[in-house]
Amino acid sequence: MPAPLHRPPRHPHAWITWLSLSQLVVVLVWWRWGWHWGLPAMLLSHVPVWWGTLKPDSRVFSPVLRRLPTDARQVWLTIDDGPSDDTLAILDLLDRHGMRATFFVIGDRAARRPELIREIVRRGHTLGNHSQTHPQAWFWALGPRQLRQEIARNQSTLAAITGTAPRWFRAVVGLANPFVAAPLREHGLARVAWCARGFDAIASDPRAVVARIERGLAPGAIVLAHEGSPHGRNLEAMTLLVQRLEALGYGTVLPEDLETAEAAPALFCKAP
């Protein structure tokens, strides 16, 4: 039976069991052979935790959607960090080219500009949860209470504006520690990564951004883009990206479009 696209975590606390067992092994090694073996064993036992936290598409703690199961020249366009002053212009651009996207929005920004959130939905796009306050430097290190609040408040904010809570979640900067899985399960959220990105949140050269994204393109690729970045050139990059997608024969597709068809397991895309 192929895995569904939308997969909230089923066992969000399983990591506690294997971490506890690994530490028991460390204690035994330290007791039997001393610190010369015990210390390396302890450090090695923490590698999966760091790998799961710091690798954006790691499935150590929860399922992560990394591409869509299609052989057609279609990509899932995802746009993070809105709503912003770019939102309406991006919507107009997508309308002109007949493309749809998922906007992973920040709850506080959505609360300040609810009319943009409603406009995103009205034009046929979908919304994703990208935390309430976007604590960029520390999201990966937040504890369970803070993470639960970040995720739950975004769900409540968007549900109050649109009447429907999101189904998809993207971690801030893509990094998610073990405590993220429990609130994802609680709210029925599936985590989304990407396999084509241009670093447009910090890079201001649209041509360089699109060139990096192009290296990761493949059928079913999840494309990561941003809006409202301080350098002010996200709209230029998005315009060039849409034009390049068309030139390469790519259209856009949403996972909801594929969920009625037979789903296949999420796979890695080629790295950019």
| pLDDT tens readout for residues 99-128 | 999 999 999 999 999 999 999 999 999 999
- For residue 41, what are the contacts with CB-CB under 8 A and spacing of at least 6? 25, 26, 29, 30
| pLDDT of 270 | 47
- How many C-beta atoms surround the C-beta of residue 117 within 10 A? 23
What percent of the chain lies above the pLDDT cut of 70? 94
Do 174 and 209 form a contact (C-beta atoms < 8 A)? no
| pLDDT of 22 | 79
Give the whole-angstrom CA distance, residue 52 versus residue 171. Answer: 13
The torsion angle over the Cα atoms of residues 240, 241, 242 and 246, rounded to 10 degrees, is 100
| pLDDT of 261 | 58
The torsion angle over the Cα atoms of residues 177, 182, 186 and 188, rounded to 10 degrees, is 50
| pLDDT tens readout for residues 238-268 | 999 999 999 999 999 999 999 865 544 444 4
3 state SS of 143: coil
| pLDDT of 44 | 84
Domains along the chain with CATH numbers? 64-258 (3.20.20.370)
For residues 72-86, average pLDDT = 98
| pLDDT of 99 | 98
Among residues 223, 242, 221, the alpha carbon closest in space to that of 94 is found at 242
Query: Which residues are marked as active site?
Result: 80, 226
Distances (CA, A) of 251 to 9, 100, 186: 30, 9, 34
| pLDDT of 45 | 76
Lowest mean pLDDT among 1-10, 175-184, 236-245: 1-10
Report the chain's mean pLDDT, rounded to a whole number: 92
- How many C-beta atoms surround the C-beta of residue 31 within 10 A? 9
| pLDDT tens readout for residues 38-66 | 788 788 877 888 888 889 998 899 999 99
| pLDDT tens readout for residues 128-176 | 999 999 999 999 999 999 999 999 999 999 999 999 999 999 999 999 9
Pairing, β 196-197 against β 222-226: parallel
Lowest mean pLDDT among 17-31, 159-173, 182-196: 17-31
Residue 3's pLDDT band (cuts 50, 70, 90): low
Among residues 27, 88, 135, the alpha carbon closest in space to that of 143 is found at 135
